[in-house]
């Protein structure tokens, strides 16, 4: 006879049913109070839905614990067993086990009989194991959810220990920097972008500040891309304390604020240019038009044959002064009118090399020692290269004229928080304190020649390109003028994102 090779699985022959543990307690004691407290806990009932107390065997004058008041109670064992067929365990809950012998005689063979100590030990074992497993599942679920949320955040997030080593990081860091998470764990936070990133911080390192104060800190850092463009990052650090209040971890978040910074600067520049345009319009309509009429009438009087020599001389003076005033107004309008610089890439080092090669011959005639200190590599700046070169020529000329008996002139480049800079430093006479605040004012000059628009025009052109001018001087020691231009950003050719 051939054996049947297609037998159903064992689970189909003998389906596995959930084991149900029905406990009937006999008598009272501290163990019953313990059991009542255990079954009143929601987490225990969720972890052990198959375990329940089916009945209480108590004397008529004995009150059950508050947590078991809803459980059916009986005075005799036989009615209990008949009414509660799901009961599988009889538990003597008295301290001395006085009911054990009677229960063993009367209990059916299928039913277990346990004393209070055994029941307490049993529940202690299964409770600790099951609840630990349940907590582990909940913790694993919480960690997975937290990691998913952190990975959705569009900023770099690092978890650092008290020494600045990376203990965890989010997905955004790996997408930008590459590699696996294990490649970065254990490394210092400064390794992520390099020491140059940390050295561009405006103030104290936010991580060190949080370690020192135990509070949140933030600073702005800059990062230079391989293409020579600059991005701005605001770095936030948050302390993590243990239950004793000791700082054990620091959360560091790095947010790219390049787009927002760029928009803020453009808005500030447009507001400033609007004010300048209003000034030019006022001058053209309110002053120049009446002045044109005065000059026209003075010219007509000069051509009149009825004037004597004395009156003709007065008319000539009126005409000359009106022409001189018109020249001043044209210069003022040119100064107030936007120069419309051509936006492009500006290599500050290249501009310094070209300019100083042109100006070096003049330095030799004046017994001036020229030095050039260029930072390599230097990010590209945003502006008009020709205007920047003209501004540098103005500064170099001013420095040469400030050293009539010779001296030292140094031109250097570099990058600070304010931007890419060219600095012209001389060892001349310096600027007296009483006139320092006027050196950038239009038409102010200490020279016999010129209209006094050199430094004023330089400041105007640099600011129209979104930059700034900084002056440092000490009388008798020399002057330093620094031109700042904004770096070429990674978002210059893309819509800015707030």
Please give the residue range of the domain that contains residue 293. Answer: 262-336
Q: Which of 77, 121, 115 is nearest to 98 (CA)?
A: 115
**Mean pLDDT for the stretch of residues 438-458:** 62
Q: How confident is the model over 254-278, as pLDDT tens digits?
A: 888 888 877 876 677 567 656 666 6
Least confident of 51-55, 145-149, 154-158, 293-297: 145-149
pLDDT at 433: 66
CB 165 within 8 A of CB 188: yes
pLDDT at 269: 58
Average pLDDT, the chain: 79
Residue 210: which residues within 8 A CB-CB, separation 6 or more? Answer: 216, 217, 237, 238, 239, 247, 250
DSSP state at residue 364: H
Counted domains in the chain: 4
Confidence category of residue 352, pLDDT binned at 50, 70, 90: very high
What would the DSSP string read from start to end of 237-258? EEEEE-TTS-EEEEEEEEEE-H
Say yes or no: 157 and 220 in one domain. yes
Is the residue at 42 inside a domain? yes
Q: How confident is the model over 219-243, as pLDDT tens digits?
A: 888 776 665 567 788 899 999 998 8
pTM metric for this prediction: 0.43
Residue 255: which residues within 8 A CB-CB, separation 6 or more? Answer: 155, 233, 234, 235, 236
pLDDT at 172: 84
Is the residue at 12 inside a domain? no
Residue 430: which residues within 8 A CB-CB, separation 6 or more? Answer: 402, 473, 474, 475, 476, 477, 478, 479
Say yes or no: 290 and 241 in one domain. no
Q: Which of 52, 43, 41 is nearest to 18 (CA)?
A: 52
**End position of a domain, from candidates 212, 241, 256:** 256
**Mean pLDDT for the stretch of residues 1-19:** 44
Residue holding tokens 């018109």?
A: 326
Say yes or no: 361 and 459 in one domain. yes
Confidence category of residue 484, pLDDT binned at 50, 70, 90: very high
Is the residue at 209 inside a domain? yes
Confidence category of residue 139, pLDDT binned at 50, 70, 90: low
DSSP state at residue 66: G
Say yes or no: 120 and 176 in one domain. no
Say yes or no: 248 and 327 in one domain. no
Confidence category of residue 17, pLDDT binned at 50, 70, 90: very low
pLDDT at 146: 67
Q: How far apart are CA 226 and CA 379, in angstroms?
A: 9
pLDDT at 393 over 70: yes
pLDDT at 370: 87
- Please, which residues bridge with residue 382 across strands? 345
For residue 192, the domain's CATH number is 3.30.450.20
Confidence category of residue 189, pLDDT binned at 50, 70, 90: confident
pLDDT at 1 over 70: no
Say yes or no: 375 and 436 in one domain. yes
* % residues pLDDT > 70 (the chain): 76
- Please, which residues bridge with residue 408 across strands? 369
Q: 217: helix, coil or strand? A: strand
Total number of residues shown for the chain: 498
pLDDT at 443: 56
pLDDT at 5: 45
Is the residue at 1 inside a domain? no
pLDDT at 299: 84
Q: How far apart are CA 410 and CA 423, in angstroms?
A: 8
CB 356 within 8 A of CB 374: no
CB 87 within 8 A of CB 56: no
pLDDT at 321 over 90: no
Confidence category of residue 337, pLDDT binned at 50, 70, 90: low
pLDDT at 153 over 50: yes
Residue 309: which residues within 8 A CB-CB, separation 6 or more? Answer: none
Is the residue at 496 inside a domain? no
Q: How confident is the model over 414-443, as pLDDT tens digits?
A: 988 878 999 999 988 888 766 766 677 665
Least confident of 85-99, 127-141, 309-323: 127-141
pLDDT at 3: 43
Is the residue at 232 inside a domain? yes
**End position of a domain, from candidates 191, 221, 256:** 256
**End position of a domain, from candidates 241, 256, 271:** 256
Is the residue at 171 inside a domain? yes
- Residue 243, classified by CB atoms within 10 Å of its CB into exposed (0-12), middle (13-18) or buried (19+), is exposed
Q: How far apart are CA 347 and CA 11, in angstroms?
A: 79
pLDDT at 322 over 60: yes
For residue 50, the domain's CATH number is 3.40.50.720
Cα-only R_g, the chain = 44
For residues 95 and 265, the model is more confident at 95
Cα–Cα distance list, 198 to 154, 190, 421 (Å): 21, 7, 19
Q: Which of 223, 253, 254 is nearest to 238 (CA)?
A: 253
Most confident segment among 133-147, 183-197, 476-490: 476-490
Say yes or no: 252 and 316 in one domain. no
Say yes or no: 364 and 444 in one domain. yes
- Residue 388, classified by CB atoms within 10 Å of its CB into exposed (0-12), middle (13-18) or buried (19+), is buried
Both structure tokens of 226: 């391989």
First-to-final CA distance of the chain: 82
Is the residue at 139 inside a domain? no
**Mean pLDDT for the stretch of residues 30-40:** 86
Say yes or no: 237 and 315 in one domain. no
pLDDT at 466: 85
DSSP state at residue 191: G
Say yes or no: 328 and 457 in one domain. no
Say yes or no: 38 and 122 in one domain. yes
Say yes or no: 48 and 108 in one domain. yes
């Amino acid at each position: 006879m051939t054996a049947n090779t297609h037998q159903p699985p064992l689970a189909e022959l003998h389906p596995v049913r959930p084991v149900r543990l029905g406990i009937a307690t006999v008598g009272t004691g501290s163990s019953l109070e313990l059991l009542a407290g255990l079954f009143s806990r929601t987490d225990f009932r969720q972890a052990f839905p198959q375990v329940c107390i089916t009945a209480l065997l108590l004397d008529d004058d004995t009150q059950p614990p508050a947590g078991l008041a809803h459980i059916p109670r009986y005075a005799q064992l036989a009615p209990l067993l008949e009414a509660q067929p799901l009961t599988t365990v009889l538990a003597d809950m008295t301290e001395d086990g006085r009911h054990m012998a009677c229960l063993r005689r009367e209990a059916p063979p299928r039913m277990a009989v346990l004393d209070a100590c055994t029941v307490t030990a049993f529940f202690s074992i299964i409770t600790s194991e099951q609840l630990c497993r349940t907590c582990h599942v909940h913790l694993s679920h919480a960690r997975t959810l937290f990691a998913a949320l952190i990975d959705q955040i569009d900023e770099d997030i690092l978890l650092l220990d008290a020494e600045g080593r990376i203990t965890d990081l989010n997905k955004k860091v790996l997408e930008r920097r590459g590699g696996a998470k294990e490649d970065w764990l254990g490394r210092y936070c400064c390794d992520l972008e390099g020491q140059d990133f940390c050295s561009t911080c405006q103030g104290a390192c936010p991580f060190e500040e949080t370690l020192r104060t135990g509070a949140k800190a933030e600073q702005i850092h800059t990062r230079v891309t391989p293409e020579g463009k600059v991005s701005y990052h605001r770095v936030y650090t948050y302390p993590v304390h243990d239950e004793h209040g000791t700082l054990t971890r620091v959360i560091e978040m790095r947010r790219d604020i390049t787009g927002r910074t760029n928009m803020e600067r453009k808005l500030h520049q447009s507001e400033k240019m609007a004010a300048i345009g209003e000034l030019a319009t006022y001058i053209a309509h309110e002053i120049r038009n009446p002045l044109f009429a005065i000059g026209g009438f003075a010219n007509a009087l000069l051509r009149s044959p009825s004037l004597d020599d004395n009156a003709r001389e007065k008319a000539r003076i009126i005409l000359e002064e009106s022409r001189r005033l018109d020249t001043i107004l044209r210069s003022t309008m040119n100064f107030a009118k936007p120069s419309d610089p051509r936006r492009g890439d500006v290599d500050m080092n290249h501009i310094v090399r070209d300019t100083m090669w042109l100006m070096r011959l003049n330095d030799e005639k004046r017994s001036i020692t020229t030095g050039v200190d260029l930072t390599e590599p230097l990010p590209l700046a945003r502006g008009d290269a020709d205007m920047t070169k003209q501004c540098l020529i103005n500064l170099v000329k001013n420095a040469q004229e400030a050293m009539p008996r010779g001296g030292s002139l140094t031109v250097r480049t570099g990058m600070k928080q304010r931007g890419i800079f060219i600095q012209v430093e001389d060892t001349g006479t310096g600027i007296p304190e009483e006139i320092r605040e006027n050196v950038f004012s239009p038409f102010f000059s200490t020279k016999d020649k010129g209209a006094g628009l050199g430094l004023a025009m330089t400041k105007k052109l640099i600011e129209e390109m979104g930059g700034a001018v900084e002056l440092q001087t000490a009388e008798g020691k020399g002057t330093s003028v620094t031109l700042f231009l904004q770096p070429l950003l990674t978002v210059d050719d893309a819509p800015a994102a707030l």
